[in-house]
Structure 1
Amino acid sequence: MGQKQPTIKSPRGTSSLVLAREREVAKTAAINALLIRPIAVLPAKVGDPIRPFALGLWSEVRLLLKPDVSVSALRKALATYVHARSYQVAVARPGSMRHDINGEPVEPVSDADRLDALKKYESFKARNGSSAEASVSSLAASASKRDAISALLLRRKDAPR
Protein backbone atom coordinates (compact mmCIF):
# COMPACT_ATOMS: atom_id res chain seq x y z
CA MET A 1 0.00 0.00 0.00
CA GLY A 2 1.17 3.55 -0.77
CA GLN A 3 1.75 6.12 1.89
CA LYS A 4 -1.24 8.38 2.50
CA GLN A 5 -0.71 12.04 1.51
CA PRO A 6 -1.20 14.57 4.31
CA THR A 7 -4.54 16.35 4.19
CA ILE A 8 -4.22 20.11 4.11
CA LYS A 9 -7.24 22.31 3.54
CA SER A 10 -6.95 24.68 0.57
CA PRO A 11 -6.76 28.31 1.73
CA ARG A 12 -9.42 30.94 0.92
CA GLY A 13 -11.87 28.78 -0.99
CA THR A 14 -11.37 27.44 -4.49
CA SER A 15 -11.05 30.55 -6.66
CA SER A 16 -7.92 30.49 -8.78
CA LEU A 17 -6.99 34.16 -8.27
CA VAL A 18 -5.54 35.83 -5.22
CA LEU A 19 -5.91 39.59 -5.48
CA ALA A 20 -3.34 42.07 -4.22
CA ARG A 21 -4.09 44.27 -1.27
CA GLU A 22 -2.30 47.47 -0.24
CA ARG A 23 0.49 45.60 1.53
CA GLU A 24 1.31 43.48 -1.53
CA VAL A 25 1.25 46.54 -3.79
CA ALA A 26 3.64 48.30 -1.39
CA LYS A 27 6.02 45.32 -1.55
CA THR A 28 5.90 45.23 -5.34
CA ALA A 29 6.47 48.99 -5.54
CA ALA A 30 9.59 48.51 -3.40
CA ILE A 31 10.82 45.80 -5.77
CA ASN A 32 10.12 47.85 -8.89
CA ALA A 33 11.92 50.86 -7.34
CA LEU A 34 15.12 48.78 -7.40
CA LEU A 35 14.77 48.00 -11.12
CA ILE A 36 15.35 50.03 -14.27
CA ARG A 37 11.78 49.21 -15.34
CA PRO A 38 8.77 47.64 -13.61
CA ILE A 39 8.12 43.96 -14.21
CA ALA A 40 4.65 42.95 -15.31
CA VAL A 41 4.44 39.77 -13.25
CA LEU A 42 4.00 41.89 -10.11
CA PRO A 43 0.63 43.45 -9.20
CA ALA A 44 0.66 47.19 -9.95
CA LYS A 45 -2.50 48.17 -8.06
CA VAL A 46 -4.93 46.87 -5.46
CA GLY A 47 -7.08 44.14 -7.02
CA ASP A 48 -4.48 42.93 -9.52
CA PRO A 49 -3.81 39.19 -9.34
CA ILE A 50 -0.82 37.81 -7.47
CA ARG A 51 0.93 35.49 -9.90
CA PRO A 52 3.40 32.76 -8.96
CA PHE A 53 6.81 33.34 -10.54
CA ALA A 54 8.19 31.07 -13.25
CA LEU A 55 11.12 28.96 -12.12
CA GLY A 56 14.37 30.78 -12.91
CA LEU A 57 12.74 34.23 -12.98
CA TRP A 58 15.42 35.56 -10.62
CA SER A 59 18.06 35.57 -13.37
CA GLU A 60 15.86 37.77 -15.58
CA VAL A 61 14.90 40.15 -12.77
CA ARG A 62 18.51 40.51 -11.64
CA LEU A 63 19.47 41.84 -15.10
CA LEU A 64 17.05 44.74 -14.55
CA LEU A 65 18.72 45.87 -11.30
CA LYS A 66 19.67 49.57 -11.17
CA PRO A 67 23.45 50.02 -11.18
CA ASP A 68 23.55 51.72 -7.77
CA VAL A 69 21.46 49.01 -6.01
CA SER A 70 22.95 45.93 -4.36
CA VAL A 71 21.90 42.46 -5.39
CA SER A 72 21.21 41.61 -1.74
CA ALA A 73 18.69 44.47 -1.51
CA LEU A 74 16.80 43.03 -4.47
CA ARG A 75 17.05 39.51 -3.06
CA LYS A 76 15.60 40.67 0.28
CA ALA A 77 12.78 42.62 -1.38
CA LEU A 78 11.81 39.64 -3.54
CA ALA A 79 12.07 37.26 -0.58
CA THR A 80 9.71 39.46 1.42
CA TYR A 81 7.20 39.24 -1.40
CA VAL A 82 7.45 35.51 -2.22
CA HIS A 83 7.48 34.37 1.41
CA ALA A 84 4.35 36.36 2.25
CA ARG A 85 1.10 34.59 3.01
CA SER A 86 -0.78 35.93 -0.04
CA TYR A 87 1.93 34.73 -2.46
CA GLN A 88 1.93 31.30 -0.82
CA VAL A 89 -1.86 31.16 -1.15
CA ALA A 90 -1.54 32.02 -4.85
CA VAL A 91 0.96 29.18 -5.33
CA ALA A 92 -1.17 26.74 -3.31
CA ARG A 93 -4.38 27.31 -5.28
CA PRO A 94 -5.53 24.38 -7.41
CA GLY A 95 -4.85 25.10 -11.07
CA SER A 96 -2.42 27.95 -10.40
CA MET A 97 0.09 28.75 -13.11
CA ARG A 98 3.63 30.11 -13.00
CA HIS A 99 4.22 33.35 -14.93
CA ASP A 100 7.16 34.85 -16.79
CA ILE A 101 8.55 38.36 -16.26
CA ASN A 102 5.89 39.78 -18.60
CA GLY A 103 3.08 38.21 -16.59
CA GLU A 104 2.31 35.51 -19.15
CA PRO A 105 1.48 32.00 -17.85
CA VAL A 106 4.21 29.50 -18.74
CA GLU A 107 3.57 26.31 -16.76
CA PRO A 108 1.38 24.92 -13.99
CA VAL A 109 2.66 24.94 -10.43
CA SER A 110 3.91 21.44 -9.60
CA ASP A 111 2.10 19.34 -7.01
CA ALA A 112 5.22 19.37 -4.84
CA ASP A 113 5.40 23.19 -4.91
CA ARG A 114 1.67 23.43 -4.26
CA LEU A 115 1.95 21.12 -1.24
CA ASP A 116 4.96 23.07 0.06
CA ALA A 117 2.98 26.33 -0.24
CA LEU A 118 0.03 24.74 1.58
CA LYS A 119 2.34 23.69 4.41
CA LYS A 120 3.74 27.22 4.64
CA TYR A 121 0.22 28.60 4.70
CA GLU A 122 -0.73 26.18 7.50
CA SER A 123 2.35 27.28 9.46
CA PHE A 124 1.24 30.92 9.09
CA LYS A 125 -2.15 29.96 10.51
CA ALA A 126 -0.59 27.96 13.34
CA ARG A 127 1.78 30.77 14.22
CA ASN A 128 -0.99 33.34 14.26
CA GLY A 129 -3.25 31.06 16.29
CA SER A 130 -0.58 30.27 18.87
CA SER A 131 0.41 33.93 19.27
CA ALA A 132 -3.25 34.88 19.68
CA GLU A 133 -3.72 32.12 22.24
CA ALA A 134 -0.54 33.20 24.05
CA SER A 135 -1.69 36.81 24.20
CA VAL A 136 -5.15 35.74 25.42
CA SER A 137 -3.63 33.54 28.13
CA SER A 138 -1.20 36.30 29.17
CA LEU A 139 -4.11 38.74 29.37
CA ALA A 140 -6.04 36.24 31.47
CA ALA A 141 -3.02 35.68 33.70
CA SER A 142 -2.47 39.41 34.14
CA ALA A 143 -6.17 39.92 34.86
CA SER A 144 -6.16 37.20 37.51
CA LYS A 145 -2.92 38.56 38.97
CA ARG A 146 -4.46 42.03 39.07
CA ASP A 147 -7.56 40.62 40.79
CA ALA A 148 -5.41 38.81 43.33
CA ILE A 149 -3.44 41.96 44.14
CA SER A 150 -6.64 43.99 44.40
CA ALA A 151 -8.20 41.44 46.72
CA LEU A 152 -5.07 41.40 48.88
CA LEU A 153 -5.02 45.19 49.11
CA LEU A 154 -8.74 45.35 49.88
CA ARG A 155 -8.36 42.78 52.66
CA ARG A 156 -5.44 44.71 54.09
CA LYS A 157 -7.48 47.92 53.96
CA ASP A 158 -10.44 46.30 55.72
CA ALA A 159 -8.34 44.60 58.39
CA PRO A 160 -8.30 46.30 61.84
CA ARG A 161 -5.09 48.05 62.82
Structure 2
Amino acid sequence: MRQKPFRTKPSQGNSAQVLAREKDVTRAEAINALLTRPIAILPAKVGDPIRPFALGLWNEIRCLLKEEISVSTLRKATGRYVHSRSYQTAVARPRSSRHDISGAPVDIVSDADRLAAQQNYESLRTGRAADRTMSTAAPASLRSSPPLRAEMIRTALLSRNGIGSA
Protein backbone atom coordinates (compact mmCIF):
# COMPACT_ATOMS: atom_id res chain seq x y z
CA MET A 1 0.00 0.00 0.00
CA ARG A 2 1.32 3.42 -0.93
CA GLN A 3 2.06 5.74 1.96
CA LYS A 4 0.48 9.18 1.99
CA PRO A 5 2.92 12.09 1.66
CA PHE A 6 3.65 14.27 4.65
CA ARG A 7 1.13 17.10 4.52
CA THR A 8 2.60 19.92 6.54
CA LYS A 9 5.52 22.23 6.07
CA PRO A 10 7.78 22.58 9.14
CA SER A 11 7.21 25.91 10.82
CA GLN A 12 7.07 27.47 14.26
CA GLY A 13 4.97 25.56 16.78
CA ASN A 14 1.77 23.90 15.63
CA SER A 15 0.92 26.47 12.96
CA ALA A 16 2.45 24.52 10.06
CA GLN A 17 0.71 25.00 6.74
CA VAL A 18 -1.38 22.23 5.25
CA LEU A 19 -0.05 21.42 1.81
CA ALA A 20 -2.20 20.45 -1.16
CA ARG A 21 -2.33 16.88 -2.29
CA GLU A 22 -3.36 15.61 -5.69
CA LYS A 23 -7.06 15.46 -4.70
CA ASP A 24 -6.97 19.05 -3.46
CA VAL A 25 -5.41 20.30 -6.69
CA THR A 26 -8.02 18.38 -8.71
CA ARG A 27 -10.82 20.00 -6.70
CA ALA A 28 -9.22 23.44 -7.14
CA GLU A 29 -8.89 22.89 -10.89
CA ALA A 30 -12.58 21.93 -11.03
CA ILE A 31 -13.51 25.25 -9.41
CA ASN A 32 -11.19 27.27 -11.66
CA ALA A 33 -12.63 25.56 -14.75
CA LEU A 34 -16.03 27.07 -13.89
CA LEU A 35 -14.65 30.61 -13.58
CA THR A 36 -13.70 33.25 -16.12
CA ARG A 37 -10.21 33.36 -14.58
CA PRO A 38 -8.36 31.25 -12.04
CA ILE A 39 -8.31 32.48 -8.45
CA ALA A 40 -5.01 32.61 -6.59
CA ILE A 41 -6.34 31.40 -3.25
CA LEU A 42 -6.65 27.86 -4.63
CA PRO A 43 -3.62 25.56 -4.85
CA ALA A 44 -2.23 25.27 -8.38
CA LYS A 45 0.08 22.30 -7.78
CA VAL A 46 0.80 19.60 -5.24
CA GLY A 47 2.65 21.16 -2.30
CA ASP A 48 0.96 24.58 -2.51
CA PRO A 49 -0.64 25.66 0.78
CA ILE A 50 -4.34 25.16 1.47
CA ARG A 51 -5.63 28.60 2.52
CA PRO A 52 -8.85 29.12 4.46
CA PHE A 53 -11.28 31.40 2.62
CA ALA A 54 -12.08 34.86 3.96
CA LEU A 55 -15.62 35.24 5.21
CA GLY A 56 -17.85 36.38 2.33
CA LEU A 57 -15.44 35.18 -0.36
CA TRP A 58 -18.22 33.16 -1.98
CA ASN A 59 -19.78 36.37 -3.35
CA GLU A 60 -16.53 37.34 -5.07
CA ILE A 61 -16.06 33.86 -6.51
CA ARG A 62 -19.66 33.72 -7.75
CA CYS A 63 -19.13 36.95 -9.71
CA LEU A 64 -16.42 35.16 -11.73
CA LEU A 65 -18.73 32.32 -12.79
CA LYS A 66 -18.91 31.66 -16.54
CA GLU A 67 -22.33 32.57 -17.97
CA GLU A 68 -23.12 29.06 -19.19
CA ILE A 69 -22.44 27.47 -15.77
CA SER A 70 -25.08 27.28 -13.05
CA VAL A 71 -24.46 28.65 -9.57
CA SER A 72 -25.37 25.27 -8.09
CA THR A 73 -22.54 23.63 -10.05
CA LEU A 74 -20.08 26.15 -8.61
CA ARG A 75 -21.55 25.68 -5.14
CA LYS A 76 -21.11 21.89 -5.35
CA ALA A 77 -17.51 22.18 -6.58
CA THR A 78 -16.66 24.73 -3.90
CA GLY A 79 -18.40 22.59 -1.28
CA ARG A 80 -16.27 19.57 -2.19
CA TYR A 81 -13.18 21.70 -1.66
CA VAL A 82 -14.12 23.44 1.60
CA HIS A 83 -15.55 20.29 3.18
CA SER A 84 -12.44 18.24 2.43
CA ARG A 85 -10.22 16.96 5.23
CA SER A 86 -7.29 19.07 4.02
CA TYR A 87 -9.29 22.30 4.08
CA GLN A 88 -10.79 21.50 7.48
CA THR A 89 -7.30 20.77 8.81
CA ALA A 90 -6.05 24.12 7.45
CA VAL A 91 -8.88 25.98 9.19
CA ALA A 92 -8.31 24.05 12.43
CA ARG A 93 -4.60 24.93 12.66
CA PRO A 94 -3.62 27.27 15.51
CA ARG A 95 -3.06 30.85 14.33
CA SER A 96 -4.36 30.09 10.83
CA SER A 97 -5.40 33.03 8.68
CA ARG A 98 -8.27 33.58 6.29
CA HIS A 99 -7.30 34.74 2.80
CA ASP A 100 -8.84 36.91 0.12
CA ILE A 101 -9.37 35.86 -3.50
CA SER A 102 -5.78 36.75 -4.40
CA GLY A 103 -4.42 34.59 -1.58
CA ALA A 104 -3.39 37.41 0.76
CA PRO A 105 -4.12 36.94 4.47
CA VAL A 106 -6.91 39.23 5.69
CA ASP A 107 -8.05 37.89 9.06
CA ILE A 108 -7.41 35.26 11.71
CA VAL A 109 -9.69 32.22 11.90
CA SER A 110 -11.91 32.64 14.97
CA ASP A 111 -11.71 30.15 17.83
CA ALA A 112 -15.30 29.08 17.13
CA ASP A 113 -14.51 28.39 13.45
CA ARG A 114 -11.31 26.58 14.43
CA LEU A 115 -13.22 24.36 16.87
CA ALA A 116 -15.95 23.65 14.30
CA ALA A 117 -13.30 22.65 11.75
CA GLN A 118 -11.67 20.32 14.28
CA GLN A 119 -15.04 18.70 14.94
CA ASN A 120 -15.74 18.41 11.19
CA TYR A 121 -12.35 16.81 10.66
CA GLU A 122 -12.96 14.31 13.46
CA SER A 123 -16.40 13.43 12.11
CA LEU A 124 -14.92 12.92 8.63
CA ARG A 125 -12.25 10.67 10.11
CA THR A 126 -14.54 8.63 12.35
CA GLY A 127 -17.42 8.69 9.86
CA ARG A 128 -15.38 7.05 7.13
CA ALA A 129 -14.11 4.44 9.58
CA ALA A 130 -17.68 3.79 10.70
CA ASP A 131 -18.83 3.49 7.07
CA ARG A 132 -16.14 0.90 6.40
CA THR A 133 -17.07 -0.99 9.56
CA MET A 134 -20.78 -0.87 8.75
CA SER A 135 -20.32 -2.06 5.18
CA THR A 136 -18.13 -5.01 6.20
CA ALA A 137 -19.53 -5.96 9.61
CA ALA A 138 -23.28 -5.34 9.42
CA PRO A 139 -25.61 -8.01 8.11
CA ALA A 140 -27.16 -7.34 4.73
CA SER A 141 -30.60 -6.99 6.29
CA LEU A 142 -29.42 -3.93 8.27
CA ARG A 143 -27.63 -2.31 5.33
CA SER A 144 -30.56 -2.61 2.93
CA SER A 145 -33.52 -1.84 5.21
CA PRO A 146 -35.66 1.12 4.09
CA PRO A 147 -35.51 4.32 6.15
CA LEU A 148 -38.01 4.31 9.00
CA ARG A 149 -39.32 7.79 8.18
CA ALA A 150 -40.15 6.88 4.58
CA GLU A 151 -42.11 3.86 5.79
CA MET A 152 -44.04 6.02 8.26
CA ILE A 153 -44.95 8.54 5.56
CA ARG A 154 -46.09 5.77 3.21
CA THR A 155 -48.23 4.20 5.94
CA ALA A 156 -49.79 7.55 6.86
CA LEU A 157 -50.66 8.31 3.24
CA LEU A 158 -52.16 4.88 2.67
CA SER A 159 -54.27 5.00 5.84
CA ARG A 160 -55.44 8.53 5.04
CA ASN A 161 -56.72 7.31 1.69
CA GLY A 162 -58.39 4.28 3.32
CA ILE A 163 -56.10 1.80 1.57
CA GLY A 164 -54.17 0.46 4.55
CA SER A 165 -56.97 0.28 7.16
CA ALA A 166 -58.63 -3.00 8.13
Task: Calculate the TM-score normalised by the size of structure 1.
Answer: 0.74
Offset at residue 15 of structure 1 (A)? 4.2
Q: CA RMSD in A?
A: 1.9
Aligned position for 1:134: 134
Deviates more, 1:63-72 or 1:126-135: 126-135
Matches of 1:73 and 1:45, distance apart in 2:
23
Aligned position for 2:49: 49
Matches of 1:129 and 1:77, distance apart in 2:
24
**Contact 1:14-1:94 at 8 Å conserved across structures:** yes
Partner amino acid, structure 2, of 1:61: I
Aligned position for 2:105: 105
Aligned position for 2:92: 92
Aligned position for 1:28: 28
Is there any run of 5+ residues in structure 1 with no aligned partner, and where?
Answer: 1-11, 142-161
Matches of 2:59 and 2:22, distance apart in 1:
27
Is there any run of 5+ residues in structure 2 with no aligned partner, and where?
Answer: 1-7, 140-166
**Contact 2:51-2:98 at 8 Å conserved across structures:** yes
Matches of 1:131 and 1:63, distance apart in 2:
37
Aligned residues: 129
Offset at residue 135 of structure 1 (A)? 4.9
**Contact 1:16-1:95 at 8 Å conserved across structures:** no
Matches of 1:49 and 1:56, distance apart in 2:
20
Offset at residue 86 of structure 1 (A)? 0.7
Task: Calculate the TM-score normalised by the size of structure 2.
Answer: 0.72
Indicate the SS of the match to 2:98: strand
If you compute each CA radius of gyration, which structure gives the higher value, 1 or 2? 1
Aligned position for 2:65: 65
Matches of 2:109 and 2:15, distance apart in 1:
15
Offset at residue 127 of structure 1 (A)? 1.0
**Contact 1:43-1:50 at 8 Å conserved across structures:** yes
Percent identity between the two aligned chains: 62
Indicate the SS of the match to 2:18: coil
Indicate the SS of the match to 2:23: helix
**Off by >4 Å, runs of 4+ in structure 1:** none
